[in-house]
Amino acid sequence: MALILFSIFLWSATGALGWLAYQRRDGSFRSGARDAVREAVFIAPRLLIGVLGAGFIAALLPGDLVSRVLGSESGFPGLLMASGAGLIIPGGPVVAFSVGAAALEAGAGSGQVIAFLTGWLLMSSNRTIIWETPIMGVPFTILRYAISLPFPVVIGGIVTFMT
């Protein structure tokens, strides 16, 4: 139900913006649609290899080991390890989300997977090195990290508690 509402909302918003772009009559509608197609062509192969790869890796991962080290019973050490993995894993969303999905399927706890993803979202080493420190500077990055650091474990812990 929530998903249907979400889809309706998403498509209504898209339709409304398309209408606004069309109303401008300056080619915004067409050039936006062209940008979107270009972006979709970029995304499609990544989504394909990522989703398929996640499925294969999940089948290959040793389930008992994953659930022992990162399962929902692994508690605080598991949350800490998962958060740390989120900070150091190289790569963008295809890598991070497919690793998360594969780990989940192989028996990792949802709290641990959310801790991993929150760690990656807030403090991805890749993005920090390539984008944040060159643009924002090291002091700002340190300040932001200092505030963010405990939260992957906190959010993961709440998810473990709730599921």
Count of residues binding another protein (CB under 8 A)?
Answer: 78
| Paired tokens of 102 | 């594969």
Pick out residues in 62-121 that bind another protein (CB under 8 A).
91-95, 97-98, 100-101, 104, 110, 113-114, 117-118, 121
* CA 86 – CA 27 distance, rounded (Å): 42
| Paired tokens of 92 | 């963008």
- Part of the chain binding another protein (CB under 8 A), chosen from 66-74, 81-89, 139-147: 139-147
Asked if residue 104 lies in contact with residue 138, where contact means CB atoms within 8 angstroms, the answer is: no
Asked if residue 120 lies in contact with residue 103, where contact means CB atoms within 8 angstroms, the answer is: no
Pick out residues in 28-57 that bind another protein (CB under 8 A).
28-29, 31-33, 35-36, 38-40, 42-43, 45-57
Comparison of 74 and 100: residue with beta carbon closer to another protein: 100
Side chain identity, residue 82: A
- Part of the chain binding another protein (CB under 8 A), chosen from 65-73, 78-86, 124-132: 124-132
Asked if residue 54 lies in contact with residue 98, where contact means CB atoms within 8 angstroms, the answer is: yes
49 C-beta neighbours (distance < 10 Å), count: 12
Q: How far is the CB of 81 from another protein (least distance, A)?
A: 19
**DSSP string covering 16-41, please?**
HHHHHHHHT-SSHHHHHHHHHHHHHH
Q: How far is the CB of 67 from another protein (least distance, A)?
A: 17
Q: How far is the CB of 29 from another protein (least distance, A)?
A: 7
* CA 86 – CA 126 distance, rounded (Å): 11
Query: In the set 72, 130, 149, 150, which binds another protein (CB under 8 A)?
Result: 130
| Paired tokens of 32 | 């936006």
Q: Does 8 contact another protein by CB under 8 A?
A: no
Query: In the set 86, 122, 153, 160, which binds another protein (CB under 8 A)?
Result: 122
